[in-house]
Structure 1
Amino acid sequence: MAASLQVAMASLVPPSTSSPIGRRGRGRTVAGGGGGGGGGGVRCSAIGSKGSSSKLPLPPINPKDPFLSKLASVAAASPESLLDRPVSSDTPPYLDLFESPQLMATPAQVERSVSYNEHRPRRPPPDLPSLLLHGRIVYIGMPLVPAVTELVVAELMYLQWMDPKEPIYLYINSTGTTRDDGETVGMETEGFAIYDALMQLKNEIHTVAVGAAIGHACLLLASGSKGKRFMMPHAKAMIQQPRVPSSGLMPASDVLIRAKEVITNRDTLVKLLAKHTGNSIETVATVMRRPYYMDATKAQEFGAIDKILWRGQEKIMADAAPPEQWDKNAGIKVVD
């Protein structure tokens, strides 16, 4: 197939004007075409050449191959579009023949062969982050370790470059810079790096807590655009003080330096949470003395989110009667 494709491509490309064959062969047909020739200004082409006595047969083309089928149809209809191609083009060769080429991966299309349960994918399946990225969704489903921070920041920068006006959806299910048992797995700067990237974006940020938003993950949840911070009904949020990483056999002076850095990170975290939740610094510092867990309702009261994503909640709340109507229906008279 590769050899036949090379023969077909060779017949489509015009001869170079710098070679002796290109200067002397303008009045000839391709080898195998007989002794007759066209005019002096006609290029050598076996496709669509009206003056040639015989045409070079095209190699067999797989009808299920969309690119080769499109290329063959264009070559048969208007060969000049392939022969008179510009020298410098902004698109890859022949890709501009398609009206809307798909540059991103799509789910694998599988064709079933004759044998039982044998599949041949036409294209490689995409990875899950690429599919979510196509929907402008960034998903944080792990603790904030350096590899997660690198991927999330890169995705945020890419989505802003693609369209600085469309919103970005940040789904959060993370225990922050610690594991669920409280052991530190990442530096506090990992959470601050994602936070700073969010603050630099021009896009509107929609944050959604789908499982747990603990520590710095809760800060990312609260740092979304006002009115666009959501939480699932059974998700949990928790804020706590940063923890000192394992000191091991460090000297006492080094342990003291690390402890001072943790205190600095704690004060920064308190200030940022107070800024995005609307509470005072003293209030946030007080509740952060010990781990402070919040369900969806408590997180909304604390100011970490704006709305609980409960399907049908809007209709139920709209149908609910106000307290005054309840009192009136119950026969209760309100005394001023």
Structure 2
Amino acid sequence: MAACLRVLPAAFSTPSSASNSSSLRRRSFKIGCSATGSKNSARIPMPPINPNDPFLAKLASAAANSPEPLHARPSNSDSPPYLDLFDSPKLMATPAQVERSVSYNEHRPRKPPPDLPSLLLHGRIVYIGMPLVPAVTELVVAELMYLQWVDPKEPIYMYINSTGTTRDDGETVGMETEGFAIYDSMMQMKNEIHTVAVGAAIGQACLLLAAGTKGRRFMMPHAKAMIQQPKVPSSGLMPASDVLIRAKEAISNRDTLVELLAKHTENSVETVANVMKRPFYMDAKRAKEFGVIDKILWRGQEKIMSDILPPEEWDKLAGIKIPDPF
């Protein structure tokens, strides 16, 4: 290539005729490009270069001054050939930088994104959106333990939309110990647990809602809470003695549930036992009055209310001096 650029400048200076010019052109082209590394004595004329074209001027200057880099591969194998004619361009990125990139692109192997519970767990959110069956209990308890291990000081947000150990038609799908397992795990946590009822909190799920940190138990305005007695699973062809044993276990679970609800709602055991004789449904306002929750979430009003100063602070900022009591 360098020989071509060096030989061609005299190629078309003095053509004698059309035939001679064309034959001379063909001969000169063969001579100039056949021996790339050799020095040809023939000087073939070439049309003058436009001085206003900076690209051609720079290319011709480089070819005249140092023709070797044009046809000799550079010694540095990391840079492509012929790039030293112009200003050295900046390549995209080194392989190490590409590997450290956090975005999904063609330089990284395609991996499936994490599942939704994992994304919620990253935001310290535990979502109970199914009846309390063993698989749900296992997941919730494991998430609580993991979040406490990650940071024992940051709060945990538990969103509840569950029918407890029964389905919406009343059929039993899990033992009462499923709800007690999650409750005991919550009580062992060092973190604050903010509970939020979304949709429904029935039976054992209502206990979990009330077991949140005092002052941090919330409910959506159209959510429902309900407390009911534990139900005996289907006995089938079970002997009468076994049915009696299961009935006693259900009564024991009921008494435990009554005591725990009375503790967290600050009601008497007799009050909770009386309302739980039949299914006791509560909307958000009634649940707040009964002591299951502390606040009702509605369009961020809780943040607005939390920013309001108490009356004593208002009086202090206004310069009002509170008289000392007698």
The amino acid across from 1:130 in the alignment is S
Question: Residue 250 of structure 1: CA displacement?
Answer: 0.3
CA-to-aligned-CA distance 1:186-239 (integer Å, 9 cap, x gap): 000000000000000000000000110000000000000000000000000000
Please tell me the residue identity of whatever aligns with 1:68: P
- Per-residue CA shift, 1:247-304, capped at 9, x if unaligned? 0100000000000000000000000000000000000000000000000000000000
Residue 226 (str. 1) matches residue 214 (str. 2): yes
Q: Which has the higher helix share?
A: 2
State yes or no: 1:211 paired with 2:199. Answer: yes
- Correspondences of 1:1-336 after superposition (within 5 Å): 68-70=95-97, 109=104, 122-311=110-299, 313=301
In 2: Cα distance, 1:176 partner to 1:153 partner: 15
- Over residues 82-136 of structure 1, what are the superposed CA-to-partner deviations in whole Å (9 max), with x where a residue is unaligned? xxxxxxxxxxxxx9xx6xx97xxxxx8578xxxxxxxx99431110000000000
Q: Secondary structure at the match of 2:165?
A: coil
Q: 1:119-165, CA deviations, whole angstroms, 9 ceiling, x for partnerless residues?
A: x9943111000000000000000000000000000000000000000
Q: Which amino acid aligns with 1:152?
A: V
State the alpha-carbon separation in 1 of the partners of residues 307 and 96 from structure 2: 56
Q: CA deviation at 1:67?
A: 8.9
The alignment's TM-score, normalised by the length of structure 2, stands at 0.63
Gaps of 5+ in 2: 1-74, 80-90, 309-326
Alignment RMSD (CA, Å) = 3.0
Q: Distance in 1 between matches of 2:270 and 2:153?
A: 36
2 CA distance for matches of 1:194 and 1:265? Answer: 15
Instruction: Look up the match of 2:35.
Output: none
SS at match of 1:206: strand
Note the C-alpha offset of 1:69: 3.8
Aligned position for 2:40: none
Question: Structure 2 vs 1, CA of residues 143 and 121 (structure 1 numbering), >3 Å: closer, same or farther?
Answer: farther
* Greater RCO (Cα-Cα under 8 Å, separation 6 or more): 2
Query: What amino acid maps onto 2:141 in structure 1?
Result: V
Cross-structure match for 2:63: none
Q: Deviations over 1:10-36 (max 9, x none)?
A: xxxxxxxxxxxxxxxxxxxxxxxxxxx
TM-score normalised by length of structure 1: 0.61
Residues 187 and 224 (structure 1), Cα distance of their counterparts in 2 relative to 1, 3 Å cut: same
Q: 1:275 is aligned with what amino acid? A: K
Query: Percent identity over the alignment?
Result: 79
Partners of 2:257 and 2:231 in 1: how far apart? Answer: 12
Separation in structure 2 between the aligned mates of residue 269 and residue 184 of structure 1, nearest angstrom: 16
Question: Which has the larger Rg?
Answer: 2
Tell me how far 1:312 sits from its aligned partner: 5.0
- Where has structure 1 moved over 4 Å in runs of 4 or more? 54-58, 108-111, 314-319
Cα separation, 2, equivalents of 1:298 and 1:199? 25
Give me the whole-angstrom Cα distance separating, in 2, the residues matched to 1:275 and 1:229: 15
Q: How many residues align?
A: 223
- Describe the SS at the equivalent of 2:145: helix
